[in-house]
Structure 1
Amino acid sequence: MTARVAVLISGAGTNMAALVYASKLPNCPYEIVLVASNNPDAEGLQIAAAERIPTFAKSHIGLERAEHDAIMHDHIVKAGANYVVLAGYMRILGTDFVQKWDARMLNIHPSLLPKYKGLNTHQKALDAKDDFAGCSVHLVTAALDDGPVLARIEVAIQPDDSAITLAERVQMAEHQLYPHALSEYVARSYNPEYLIAQVRDLALALPQADEVLSHGMPCFGIAGGKKFAYVSADHHNDGKIALLVKISGPEEQAMLIESDGERYYRPPYFGDGWVGIRLDLSDTDWDHIGDWIAKSWHAVAPQKLKLHIL
């Protein structure tokens, strides 16, 4: 599967271009489905259009932040994107927008975070007499340049560097780092080992839970007792990576499938008392998955164990 990425820019779009060209390489795990800007005159829009990538521009001038954010969000969703990448987008995004794209929005910053958040990073590195400057790719959170760092590249500071000459080399590093970091991050969403490990951490944190291999699938249950979760990784050649958990019965199963037929499905051979929840749609809410696993554990745990943990 391929991740669908929207890129937000405000100017020349050189990092966007690096992402676009990398996406043309064989086996790249992402594609660029939209390049959008708050600046209708952004040069990067022309680059994207020439590469036949859909573009959108809406000036933020005269609009409240939340209103402009909502317009951008709507176009990102219409493009079918499941990740957002900031590439020189010179607008601070509001909390609502950031929350909607939690763990699915990346940014690149021209310093070795957590050093030198904000602006003037190259001069700050020179003033501090650092041996290295560099760039970092991080997840976007509500706090400026404060999200978890996914990758960094160091760039040596030369004795005669100015902020301008240093910036030029750091930008070269950015063009190498961003496609690599994005590829590594989105590929996790379709990597069975990563997804199984996430489920394992959640399941084994529950009281007296253990793991066995059952019917070729990782299976989690109460030690010596009933099973409450499985992970199916293309188990029936269905192309799905999914969590299978206990539910109340056919009515709940039908309701879930009707509410989101792409995410929920009736797992073969498990009957009406189970539901499959896709983990490979790139927008998995792991807190929600944890709730499902805990609910399923509760459905099979003996009463004395449930009473013991209250």
Structure 2
Amino acid sequence: MAALLYASRLPDSPYEIVLVASNDPDAGGLTVAEAEGIPTFALSHKGMTREEHDRAMDAAIRKAGAEFIALAGYMRILSEEMVARWQGRMLNIHPSLLPKYKGLHTHQRALDAGDEFGGTSVHLVTGDLDAGEVLGQVKVAIIPGDTEQTLAYRVKLAEHQLYPRVLADFVSRPYNRDWLLEQVRQRALALPEAEERPSHGAPGWRTGGNSGKYFAYFSDQHHGEQHIALIAKTSGQDELAELVERDPDAFYRPAYYGASGWVGVILNRPGCDWDQVDYWLQRSWRAVAPKRLTGLLDIADEF
């Protein structure tokens, strides 16, 4: 927790800590946080059900205005309800090279197995223990004569370096051009016979074959615009104008493509709705794809 806190004080940190919460009122991290002027919340879980305690923790976290949770030495299994509420926004650090050695006693298990390396992993929290997407890892060499304690000490040093870096990268994802492009690319290429071809120096996707037509483009602040966006087809100028007027935080009229009725779906914004991105990709693809392909997708949708 202290490593995350002090990293957040660096000039280029993309995150700030708004609350340090614990189920142990005597946790040392609370004392550090209070000394550094960070709000704290402590509530013992004794005498409470797991769900009751997690709801109280969740309420305190939301009241503080947090957008993400970084678990740091929080040694309680969270309720399914709590995990579901923060799905995709809760991180944890684990002292092994996942998927190896989930759970406890990771250092001794690595030593007993004769491994060359121990290490640490930062991962997303899911309903399965230590099973979420691994966001970053650091290997720590096992030295002849290592004990559980000596290996744990060096792994802890690695954790202090890894966690702040991974957290910073993760919270920056919604504004990272390469990450946003990869999300759009995977979704576009999942459509039947879609292929990627550059258009005016920008990534674009079209239906396959020599007669294929473009159904989407990726715009990285082109023509001086502030947005990173998916460019997709609408039914025309009336719908384009209606979308922009109704939700200007999600849609805009692109400088070049807008004249042809294409809409910009803004990606570099908090809480980007990826279901909405999927909708516009599929709808735009349907607008240009041959009937032999749209018919197959219609049949698949029925199931």
What range is the shorter-chain TM-score in?
0.7 to 0.9
C-alpha distance in 1 between matches for 2:263 and 2:24: 46
C-alpha distance in 2 between matches for 1:237 and 1:31: 30
Which stretch shifts more, 194-203 or 244-253?
A: 244-253
CA-atom RMSD in angstroms: 3.0
C-alpha distance in 2 between matches for 1:210 and 1:169: 47
Closer/same/farther in 2, CA of residues 265 and 144 from structure 1, 3 Å limit? same
Closer/same/farther in 2, CA of residues 308 and 166 from structure 1, 3 Å limit? closer
Q: Paired residue for 1:9?
A: none
The Cα of 1:272 is off from its aligned counterpart by 10
Q: TM-score, normalised by structure 1?
A: 0.79
Q: Does residue 305 of structure 1 match 2:290?
A: no
What secondary structure sits across from 1:221 in the alignment? strand
Q: Percent identity, aligned pairs only? A: 55
Q: Does residue 149 of structure 1 match 2:149?
A: no
Which stretch shifts more, 275-284 or 103-112?
A: 275-284
C-alpha distance in 2 between matches for 1:20 and 1:96: 27
C-alpha distance in 2 between matches for 1:37 and 1:281: 31
For residues 179-211 of structure 1, give each alpha carbon's deviation from its aligned partner in whole angstroms, at most 9, with x where no partner exists: 122233333332112211221221123234344
The Cα of 1:215 is off from its aligned counterpart by 6.2
What secondary structure sits across from 2:226 in the alignment? coil
> Match of 1:148, as an amino acid?
E
Q: TM-score, normalised by structure 2?
A: 0.81
The Cα of 1:105 is off from its aligned counterpart by 1.9
Alignment of 1:1-310 (within 5 A): 16-214=1-199, 217-223=202-208, 224=211, 226-247=213-234, 254=242, 258=246, 262=249, 264-269=250-255, 270=258, 275-281=263-269, 283-284=271-272, 286=274, 289-309=277-297, 310=299
2:181–2:218 Cα contact (<8 Å) kept: yes
Closer/same/farther in 2, CA of residues 169 and 213 from structure 1, 3 Å limit? closer
Closer/same/farther in 2, CA of residues 289 and 78 from structure 1, 3 Å limit? farther
What secondary structure sits across from 1:124 in the alignment? helix
The Cα of 1:247 is off from its aligned counterpart by 4.5
C-alpha distance in 1 between matches for 2:207 and 2:89: 33
Whose helix fraction is larger, Structure 1's or Structure 2's?
2
Which structure ranks higher in relative contact order (CA pairs < 8 Å, sequence separation ≥ 6)?
1
What secondary structure sits across from 1:48 in the alignment? helix
1:111–1:136 Cα contact (<8 Å) kept: yes
1:82–1:282 Cα contact (<8 Å) kept: no
Gaps of 5+ in 2: none
For residues 130-189 of structure 1, give each alpha carbon's deviation from its aligned partner in whole angstroms, at most 9, with x where no partner exists: 333221112211111112222222223344433223222221111111112223333333
What secondary structure sits across from 1:74 in the alignment? helix
The Cα of 1:285 is off from its aligned counterpart by 5.2
Closer/same/farther in 2, CA of residues 215 and 154 from structure 1, 3 Å limit? closer
